[in-house]
Chains A and B, each alone.
Chain A
Amino acid sequence: MPVITYRQALNDAFAEELTRDENVFLMGEEVAQYNGAYKVTEGLWERFGSKRVIDTPISEAAFLGLCVGAAMMGLRPVVELMFWSFAYVGFDQIINNAGCIRYMSGGLINVPMVIRGPANGGTNVGATHSHTPENFLANTPGLKVVCPATPYDAKGLMISSIRDNDTVCFMENTLLYGDLGEVPEGAYTIPLGVAEVKREGIDVSLIAHGRAVLTCLAAAEILSAEHGVEAEVVDLRSIRPLDEETILNSVAKTHRAVLVDENKPFCGVSSQIAALLAEHAFDDLDAPILRVTALDAPAIYSMPLEKLQLPDAQAVVAKVLSSF
């Protein structure tokens, strides 16, 4: 199986869908002639032309709204936010329009679009470029939220998202774009709402999404090698819809849950998972639900301190050991 980057996996997904469905188009700042600020759309403008791969001015509200309007008419926009942090400029279009129009029209109108881009901290660019809004968006019934951790998942989930008839907020990660992984050629889909156990274990469940999954895998190796603890790593892959069954099955097996989340702790994704476990896994748990999240402060610029703000493998290991 070919080994390609997370970035290339996404690029391949776009090429597959642009070829398959003429209603699919890509839009965003620098996606066409510049080849993408992070080169995720590299080569696509050259291959598919200006009708299908479209540069926009720096006007998030207008081009997000344009894509909602085009999707209402049956097109399938895949719109890039250079950073998900920039979504806040166009939040009205995402929440009120993409998120609510289907409901407010009594189901008459669909908004089949993908809003995508990186949503991560840890890149030494300060608070305004380091937001992780998956919790905000997942808080809106009507939107779906997907956060792939690996190249294989990125491609399969992107193809599913483009074919989905609802709006999908697809969150990538600039720190993962260069990661390598095995990815099949051609189109394949991974359903939204299906988590994956990325590592099996019996002693504790590490539950995460996005880059935090990789942090958990690294922590699990340390736990196994140095502490004799076999951790199971559950990758949520999509936040909404949420695969509760896989989460609950894992905790029923391990009787311990440590939630690892680059989202902030207050009303973050991990808060929702904790509520789920408290409601449905109370009798299975041998220890309190513990969390390792981003520190509850705006993303700091200073590099060594920023590293402290995000969960790392050592912090996860320490948290797991504290539960025994």
Chain B
Amino acid sequence: MPRTLSLPSKTKKTAAKKAARPVASKVAAKKAILQATLKAIPKATSKTAPKSAKVPVKAVTKAKSVAPEKVTLTASSKAEFSKSPFNSSLKPAQKINFLREMLRIRRFEQQALKYYNQGIMGGFLHLYNGQESVAVGTASLMNGHDEIITAYRDHGHALAVGMGMNECMAELFGKGTGCSKGKGGSMHFFAPDKHYWGGHGIVAGQTPLGLGLAFAIKYKKDKGCAVAFLGDGAVNQGVFSECLNMAALMELPIVFVIENNGYSMGTSLERSSAIRHSLASRAEGFDVDWSLCSGFDLYELRASLGEAMEKARTRYRPHVLEVATYRYYGHSVADANAKKYRSPEEIELYKTERDPITLWQNQLLAENVITQVGIDKIDAEAKAEAAAAAEFGIASPWPPEESIFEGIYHEVDHKTEAGQTGRFFFSE
């Protein structure tokens, strides 16, 4: 169960005081925070429940200025997360399905990477490897009335809500069989029938759209909420602050999920964001509830997000959930410095000790929900599905030339009366 943030203990205070010291000690402090964070996060190889799971906290002492009743840290042990109302009634088949969905995303991304590196696939390719638990956990909480929207690292969310690998892969290849008919590319997947509203290329540009989804839900008296994803870099766009203000002012049913993978392109969190307590705590100034959670553990993600979504649905309380996560590849595959602005050791550490898929596999093995043979079978199926999707994408035809002028105006596409007066397109 969530607990109220208590004031740091004496020993913590001393450590935090050191961390808060400027310039010279800052770098050391940040390293210390990273180490502390890594220690606190469950290890992939560990099968015992760790004592606590916290995300980085820059200067704990300063958290004093945050109204205590507003701040809830998520439950302190993995065992408690698994007993959360959002997890306790999960059936083995559901848990196995989460694993399958995460593996499908990972294998999809790896296939895409293969063809991108071969030069067969173009565009930008922002891979989701390492963050799979966030999209899968979120999709697993959607109730049929909830709506979600994300930025450009959108393949994981697309597959998690049920979009097919074929249509997604074909879109990456720019083919007419793609989910956007080859008109959107990697950053612009959409499936309104699956309550998935994209897939948006401009950092934070999707956040007010999420506000609009929430507005429409409330306007129509639907029984859902909107979940709008953004990265840690997007938090620094002005429009996101505007959104927090309006979400609170208009009492909109929305959860903003900050997928904090530590880097906005090549700029680390420390170099991009002035932080008092966390990114999420900026919500405090707008009277928006916020909390932190580790995205490495699916139980924790589901418990934290489930609670926030339920509160949005039933009480029209907006919420900001900051999820600690990590991406294994660069900002995009074209990110030439992906291993320069962070150490190879750091990447390796996350891969070996915090991988959400490995952690979940271990969890399911420990619960005797699945055997290693069972895991291998699911993984083989995911690989085969992704390979077949790539073949489908490659074999698919390019969109026909005439489709260039389709999909621009509804009235033109549907040959309505309004689509037939005046000239719409000005090419010869």
- A interface residues with partner B (beta carbon < 8 Å): 25, 51, 54, 56-57, 59, 61-75, 92-93, 96-97, 101-110, 112, 141-142, 144, 160, 163-166, 191-194, 238, 240-244, 272, 279
Contact = CB atoms under 8 A, between A and B. Distances in A.
Contacts of B406: 107
A62 B423 contact: no
A106 B208 contact: no
B410 A102 contact: yes
B54 to A, nearest CB: 31
B421 A102 contact: no
B87 to A, nearest CB: 30
Contact of B208 (A68, A73, A163, A279): A68
A164 B414 CA distance: 12
Interface stretch (B7-15, B128-136, B209-217, B313-321): B209-217
Contacts of B50: none
B180 A106 contact: yes
B424 A65 contact: no
A194 B419 CA distance: 12
Among the interface residues A71, A96, A104, A241, which one has the most CB atoms of the partner chain B within 10 A?
Answer: A104
Interface stretch (B181-189, B287-295, B385-393): B181-189
Interface string B156-197: 000000000000000000000011111110001011100001
A144 B239 CA distance: 25
Instruction: Report the interface size class on chain B.
Output: 35 or more
28 contacts: A56-B246, A57-B242, A59-B245, A61-B208, A62-B246, A65-B243, A66-B212, A69-B197, A69-B211, A70-B213, A93-B205, A96-B200, A96-B202, A97-B209, A103-B407, A103-B408, A104-B190, A106-B179, A108-B192, A109-B192, A112-B410, A163-B418, A165-B411, A191-B421, A191-B422, A192-B418, A241-B424, A243-B423
Interface of B: 147, 149, 178-184, 188, 190-192, 197-202, 205, 207-217, 219-220, 238-239, 242-243, 245-246, 249-250, 406-411, 413-414, 416-418, 421-426, 428
B408 A102 contact: yes
Contact of B209 (A25, A56, A72, A144): A72
A93 B182 CA distance: 22
Contact of A241 (B211, B407, B421): B421
Q: Chain A contact residues: over half helix, strand or loop, or mixed?
A: mixed
A104 B202 CA distance: 13
Nearest to B193: A108
Looking at A69, A70, A142, the one whose CB has the most chain B CB atoms below 10 A away is A69
Contacts of A243: 421-423
Given A70-B212, A72-B197, A107-B406, A65 B190 contact: no
Given A69-B149, A244-B422, 11 more contacts: A65-B243, A68-B212, A70-B215, A72-B192, A102-B409, A104-B184, A105-B198, A108-B192, A110-B410, A141-B424, A164-B411
Among B190, B210, B239, the most chain A Cβ lie within 10 Å of the Cβ of B239
Contacts of B416: 165
B246 A69 contact: no
Nearest to A160: B418
A73 B205 contact: no
Contact of A65 (B199, B239, B417): B239
A302 B238 CA distance: 33
